[in-house]
Structure 1
Amino acid sequence: MAGSRIAKDVFGTLPDGRAVERVVLRGQGGFEARIITHGAVLQALIAPDAKGAPDDVVLGYDDFAGYLAERKFFGATVGRYANRIADARFVLDGEKVELAANNGPNALHGGLDGFDRKLWQIADLADGAEPAVTLTYTSEHGEEGYPGQLDVRLTYRVTGPAELSVIMEARSDRPTIVNLTNHSFFNLEGATSGTPILDHKLMVAAEHFLAIDPTAIPLAGPPHAVAGTPFDFREATSIGARIRQNDRQLRNGKGYDHTFCLPLDGSLRLAARVEAPRSGRVMELFTDQPGLQVYSGNYLDGSVAGKGGRLYRQSDALCLEPHIWPNSPNRPDFPSPRLAPGSAYKHHTVYRFGVSSP
């Protein structure tokens, strides 16, 4: 309808005939967020550059066939536990929980058939000054080995001229663990630009990061200080400036694939800022989560053709994934992912776009 800032259509169809819907939320100046119900995926995020020209800044596919054929987490909502759990097992309240090992010896991003592969339901659409869509998914007790029926509610909302807010909530009928995130792959020069993100300037508001072993599990002991390492992004630095240094942690991650430690007080605050030199686009990420996974697209290997038919290659995108620290179920010294009945899991992240000053 005229003046509406929200639209809905059918993006594709699952093999069993169920429709995959797409919801478009519009801001100002061409800003748009496009969400599909399969995996609660952020399928496109359109933001204007310094000249006012809008372009899509997240990797993915132009049609549903790509999302169905490839599990690459482009824009996906990841759960029940984002990132890795060592040896695909943990103990919760004295009970052993066994998961599928789908990343070497470890469990990754919810298992073999995580939330990114599920069809979510549209629970609410809201038009107006802050258009929004709310999606829901119920993960049954025992799904992928996780205990408890988990009811998840996720709201994407345009909360400013060029700002997208993501609120994730979950409740369980028995003790369980929860750790959700959005797994968008960003390239602020444009998803089909073919320009690597190594020239993007990155600031991460973190004094410490988690060093990892070669399977990407955090090492024993406390977090490592970023000072004097290639992981010091307290001042804006090009992602590629130190990525090829002879550093054990860069070798273990094949580049950046590490959690940066954020404040533990649960407040929504600036965690990262990214600036693209050519387009002038700037993205600020605010979150209330205790960690931010910074991943420099190390495993993009040219085997996947995405938007515009372009092959995605190493360093074609940057992931900034807010979540609880990896392997927390096995680390009592880490922030806890435990969710008790009667309590609510909450996660709030905001992506705010602008342009750099001339």
Structure 2
Amino acid sequence: MPFNLSLAERDAAGLKRSLPVIDRVSGRQLFSHGKTYLNFAGNDYLGLSQAPELITASDAAAREFGVGAVASPLVVGHQAVHRQLEAELTDWLGLEAVMLFSSGFSANQAVIKALLGKEHSLWQDRLNHASLQEAGLLSPARMQRFAHNDMAVLAGKLKPHSGLIVSEGVFSMDGDQGDWHGLTRLAGQSGNWLMIDDAHGLGVLGTQGCGTLSEQGIASHKVQITMGTFGKALGVSGAFIGGSRALIDYLHNHARSYVYSTHLPPPQAAAILAAVRLVQQADDQREQLQQRIAQFRHGTAQLPFSLLPSNTAIQPLLVGDEQATLQLAAQLREQGCWVGAIRPPTVPKGSARLRITLSAAHTAADITALLTALEKAIKHSRKR
């Protein structure tokens, strides 16, 4: 079998992934093997994963409903807590209807594979998440990728009334936002549908945390399909697809990862519901997060590596070389800062980076500690 050779090659190139074992993690801290680290690798942007309200809601639902949904939602798995969560999501985000999924990956796969046939076209931003790119490859539709946020290139590829344009609200590895004014304009002109993956914008951006469309002043009805996740700013896990009632009815019948999967556990749905309510009132946390982002970006101005242009919680420090990226991450860990080292194929070759993520739970002192650790790590790497 070829896998041993493949793993050896990846290891030599600094591309082999490993699975760290930790004891506990929150938006601010990570505990592993008796040590405490500042956590700059997670997606708990508002620090809600440890919120007492979520824990209380989950515990109460476990006592009332049990810990499992028992079956798929279309059999006996859909309960009152699921229906309440769907209702509050539609009210919050201005959608006609939503449906719940166990993960953003399964939600993205479900939509693209259920909606598109061989007669359709699919246009994707080149930096879209792997779940979207893979779904496009697996679907019978003709998929074309366009240069990141390049509306001129997209305009040249579009065919009228023939398919779906998909982009992200906030791009998970670069931290910048999609050009949703340009996307809605081109979709309207060409008569094609639009889908937003707002996994990293939901809860963090816009009025009441409604997400990227709200942040950019775009009405939700201009985008036919919305995907959002509960595992980032909402601090839990799972996802939803939202849109028209007709779309959701269709997906109830044709989205295979929904029809044939056990539903979200009721305690999980209850925790998400508590998070939805908290997020709408979290203006102070969103403001605090913006302060931490500004502090970090100001503090990195003199570093020898480029910080990609991002005003979101995702702050990528571009290193380039894979081994150097791993070494910097290891040096930061020795100084008590846990940072993700992102390498190909997750990002393009030559663009390995430290994916530094910030949370409203971080203090100003935490950011100062990270900046100090970065300076020391870079100096150490230059001495090698």
TM-score range, shorter chain: under 0.3
Q: Higher strand fraction: Structure 1 or Structure 2?
A: 1
Q: Higher helix fraction: Structure 1 or Structure 2?
A: 2
| TM-score, L = length of structure 2 | 0.25
Q: Which has the larger radius of gyration?
A: 2
